[in-house]
């Protein structure tokens, strides 16, 4: 009886994957956007231990407008960081930068569902350029 081990995490991943694939590209949703660079730093829930940091220029034609980043906790159930709203607000206001911090609202592992949240931290900075 290993079926259960596939579990909530895999189901969520699959559903999220579909939602993202089915969304419009960033170029379609934000035609006025010329360039977008994201700077991401992942921290553990203690907010001090940085696990990784990276920066990249988003390909607006390929990237989807459901603008999500995976939580780095491999055990995390239903967690990820959805920056769609931040991005939408930034473009609506024609801001050239937007920065903030998000805490993962997923569960720490499949053994702590409904008890312990993951609460990994993502600090993000978006740099936007307009046509």
Please tell me the distance from the alpha carbon of residue 20 to that of residue 63, in angstroms, as a whole number.
9
- Within 10 angstroms of residue 107's Cβ, the number of other Cβ atoms is 23
With respect to Zn ion, which residue has the nearer C-beta, 30 or 42? 42
**What are the structure tokens assigned to 106, written together?**
């997923």
With respect to Zn ion, which residue has the nearer C-beta, 121 or 126? 121
Kindly state the smallest distance separating residue 88's Cβ from Zn ion, in Å.
23
HSE on the CB side for 87, CA within 13 Å?
A: 27
Kindly state the smallest distance separating residue 87's Cβ from Zn ion, in Å.
20
Torsion sign (Cα): 92, 98, 100, 104? positive
Kindly state the smallest distance separating residue 29's Cβ from Zn ion, in Å.
26
With respect to Zn ion, which residue has the nearer C-beta, 9 or 29? 9
Positions that interact with Zn ion (CB under 5 A): 71, 73, 76, 79, 104, 106, 118, 120
């Amino acid at each position: 009886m290993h079926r259960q081990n596939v579990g909530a995490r895999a189901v969520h991943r699959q559903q999220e994957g579909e939602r993202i694939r089915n969304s419009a590209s960033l170029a379609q949703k934000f035609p006025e956007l010329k360039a977008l660079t994201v700077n991401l730093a992942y921290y553990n829930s203690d907010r001090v231990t940085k696990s990784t940091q990276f920066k990249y220029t988003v390909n607006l034609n390929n990237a989807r407008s459901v603008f999500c980043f995976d939580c780095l906790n491999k055990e995390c159930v239903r967690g990820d960081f959805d920056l769609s709203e931040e991005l939408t607000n930034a473009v609506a206001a024609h801001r050239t930068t937007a920065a903030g911090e998000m805490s993962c609202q997923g569960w720490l592992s499949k053994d702590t569902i409904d008890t312990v949240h993951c609460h990994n931290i993502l600090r993000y900075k978006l740099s936007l350029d307009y046509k």
